Chains A and B, each alone.
Chain A
Amino acid sequence: MSTFSYNQEALKNLNIEDIALLDRLVDFESARESHLNKVKSKVDKRISLKEAVAEYVSDGDVLCDTGFSYVRTCHQAFFEMMRQGKKDLQMIGAPNTNQSYMINCGLVTLSHNSYVGAEMRGTDRNYSRQLKNGKVKILSEWSHGGIAQGLKAAQLGAPGLFSKQMLGSDIMKYNPYIKTMQNPMRDDSDPVAFIPALYPDVAFIHVQVADKYGNACIYGPVVNDIALAAATRKVIITAEEIVPEINLRYVKDGAMIPFIYSDAVVELPFGAVPGNMPGYYYWSRQWWEKLMRYAAPDEEKFKGFLDEWVMGTKDQFEFVEKLGGAKWVAEARRQTKAAESNNEDIDFRYQEYTKDNKADVYY
C-alpha cells in the first residue's frame, strides 16, 4: 500500500496498476538518507565512465535527462548504459531531445515526459512507435516548467510548490503527481497546481570543467542541472576537462555544482557528442538528420543505426572517429566558437544529410 496520495483520475487514465513504481520520485525520506550517506570529505572521486555506469546505475532507477535539447546532454553516458545492458529505467524526459533510442534495447521502459522530439529536426517517430508497441509506458506527463519547479522545490528543501502552470489542461489528467487545489492564502477562488518536490535516483551531468572532488562548472545554459544535482540520490559528474580545485574557487564564467553533491567524477572529453558542448564543439547536424529522418521512421533501420553507432563503438573516441575524427573536431570547435561569438563569424550553411550522402564527415 502506497504512502502517497496520487491523482486517481491520472492513475486510471494511464492504466497504472503498480503504483509503487511512482514512489521513488517523490520519496523525500529516502533521498535525504542517500544524501546523508554520501562521502562528504574531499576525496579523489575519479573513475571511468564504464565503472560509473556499472556502479551507480541500477536496473529500475529513475534517471533524469540533463542539459537542454542538443546542448550539454550526456549522450555518451546514455550510450554506455545501453552497452552495459541496463534495464527498465524510468526516464524523466525533460528537457529531452529524442533520447527515445534508450527504449529500443529495454534500457528505458517507463517515461515521465515533458517533451518528445528534436525541435527543428522533427517529431520523434521512434518514441511514437515504441509507445504504440507497448515498449514504453507513460507514468506522468508534464510541461517543461512543471518538471523544473518540482526539481527546484527539492533544491529549496520544500515539500513542493504551488504553480500556475498546467491548470485546466489535459496534462493534469495524465499526471498522478499533480493536484489542483485552492490557494490557501486567498478567500476568493484561486486554483493552483500543487507540484511535489522531485527526487530522481540518478543523473549524469556533463560539464566543461570539474575538479577531482566533484566541484563542477557549467558554462552556457544551466537549465535544471543545479537543482537536479541537489535533488538526485546519485550524481555523476562527467567533464570535458579535470582542472585543479584552485581554478574553480572563483569562477565568473559559469555556474557551480558543489562537490558535496557529487558521487563520482569522470573525465570524459566529447561526453556530449553528438550534441553541442558550449565552448568545446558544435553538434553534428547531419547525424541528427540521419537519425530522425532515415532511421527513426523504421524499426529495422533504427536498430541498424543503433547497432552501428552505439553497440559498434566502445567509447566516445570511436564515436568521434565515425563522425569524421579530427576533421569533425576542428570544424565543430570552429562552429561553436563562432556561434558564441568567440571567433570571427563563419558561414553556417551546410548540406543537410541525404540518403546519397557520401561525405566522410558528419557536419
Chain B
Amino acid sequence: MKNDTPANFLEMLAYFISLQIEDHKVVYVGTGLPMVAAILAHKTHAPNITMVYESGGQDPIEGDMPWSVGDPFTWRKAAVIQEMAYSFGQAANGYVDIAFLGFAQIDMYGNVNTHQIGKDLTNPKIRLTGSGGNNDLSSLTENMVLVGLQTPERFPERVDFITSVGHLEGGKSRTEAGLIGRGPIAVISQWGIYDFEPETKRMRIKSLTPGISFEIAQQSTGFELLKPDGDIPETSMIPPDVLDVLRTNVDPNGVFTTMPS
C-alpha cells in the first residue's frame, strides 16, 4: 500500500519523537504517539531498544497498536510483567534511559499539568486525568521528553496545577526539591523542537518545522521563548523511506497518525 501523500502533522511528530530515541536504550512509553514513535525508531534506526510500560509489561513482542498501557499488546509474550511499584522503581534505579509524556499544559520550565483547567482542585473548570504515571516518570527518569500540540493556552506562563515537576523554577530548583534525573531535555510540538537553556533551564528553540517562523512559534506560546545562538535550524523532515515504514509497518490502520477530520 504505497501512499505518496506528504506527511501530516501527527506523522511528523511521530518522526520527531523517534529521533530522540537512541539505539540500545530502555524506553518507557505511554499510549498514543510516543508508542508509534518508539516502534518507528525500533524499526528504523534503533533496533536494539527495550520498551517498558507502566502497567508492568516489558519487552513485548510487537503487535497491533495498544489502546491502553495495560492492553495485551504491552505485555505480549513478555518474559517479565512487573508489578507497578517495581516498574517505576526501575526508573528511579537508573534502568530507564528515556521516557515520553504528554501534557494538557506546559510552562517555560517544563512543568506539566494533566490535572485540570482552573486553579482550584475542589472546583476546577474542567477536571482532567490527574497524574497516572506522569508524575512518577517525571520525578524519576533520567531523560524526559514532553510531547503535545502547541497553542498559547497549552503553553502558558504558569500551569494551572503542577502535576509533574520539570525544572520547577529553573536553575537548580529541580534537584533541590529532591527529584532524580536530568528532567525534561526536550519538548516536541507540531511547530518545533525545544530544549532547555543549561543555566536558567528555560525553554529554548532547538529547531523549527520547515515553513514555521520564530514569530509563529512565539505567537503560539504564552511566555517568551529563548532563541539559540545564530540562525534557528530547520527540523529535518521525515525521509520518504521512513514515512513508508510508518505507514506500512508501524501504524498501518492510521489509529494514531490520522489527522482528525
In angstroms, how far is the closest chain B Cβ from the Cβ of A196?
A: 15
Which among B15-23, B49-57, B188-196, B224-232 touches the partner chain? B49-57
Chain A, 14-55, CB within 8 A of any chain B CB: 14-15
Asked if residues A143 and B132 are in contact (CB atoms below 8 Å), the reply is yes
User: Across the interface, which residues of B come within 8 angstroms of A336, CB to CB?
Assistant: 72
Instruction: Tally B residues with Cβ within 8 Å of A.
Output: 57
Known interface pairs A168-B168, A170-B162. Does A224 touch B135 (Cβ–Cβ under 8 Å)? no
Residue of B nearest to A130 (CB): B127
A131 and B120 alpha carbons, distance in the complex (Å): 11
In angstroms, how far is the closest chain B Cβ from the Cβ of A284?
A: 12
Asked if residues B129 and A115 are in contact (CB atoms below 8 Å), the reply is yes
A120 and B30 alpha carbons, distance in the complex (Å): 11
Asked if residues A117 and B128 are in contact (CB atoms below 8 Å), the reply is yes
Known interface pairs A164-B139, A168-B162, A223-B56. Does A114 touch B131 (Cβ–Cβ under 8 Å)? yes
Known interface pairs A168-B174, A169-B163, A223-B83. Does A339 touch B64 (Cβ–Cβ under 8 Å)? yes
Asked if residues A14 and B122 are in contact (CB atoms below 8 Å), the reply is yes
A243 proximal to B (CB < 8 A): no
Q: How large is the interface on A (under 10, 10 to 19, 20 to 34, 35 or more residues)?
A: 35 or more
User: Across the interface, which residues of A come within 8 angstroms of B126, CB to CB?
Assistant: 123, 128
B143 proximal to A (CB < 8 A): no
Which residue in A13, A71, A145, A170 is a CB contact (below 8 Å) of B55?
A: A71
Asked if residues A131 and B83 are in contact (CB atoms below 8 Å), the reply is no
In angstroms, how far is the closest chain B Cβ from the Cβ of A218?
A: 10
Asked if residues B178 and A222 are in contact (CB atoms below 8 Å), the reply is no
User: Across the interface, which residues of A come within 8 angstroms of B72, CB to CB?
Assistant: 220, 276, 278, 282, 336, 339-340
Asked if residues B129 and A70 are in contact (CB atoms below 8 Å), the reply is no
Known interface pairs A143-B131, A189-B176, A190-B178. Does A69 touch B92 (Cβ–Cβ under 8 Å)? no
- Among all A-B residue pairs, the 3 with the closest Cβ atoms: A191-B178, A168-B177, A145-B136
Given contacts A71-B71, A132-B123, A145-B133, 16 further A-B contacts (CB under 8 A): A69-B68, A69-B70, A117-B130, A119-B68, A123-B127, A142-B131, A144-B133, A146-B135, A164-B92, A164-B140, A164-B180, A166-B139, A167-B165, A174-B121, A192-B178, A223-B83
Name A's B-contacting residues (CB within 8 A): 13-15, 67-71, 95, 97, 113-117, 119-121, 123-124, 127-128, 131-132, 137-138, 141-146, 148-149, 151-152, 164-171, 174, 180, 189-193, 220-224, 226-227, 276, 278, 282, 285, 336, 338-341, 345, 348-349
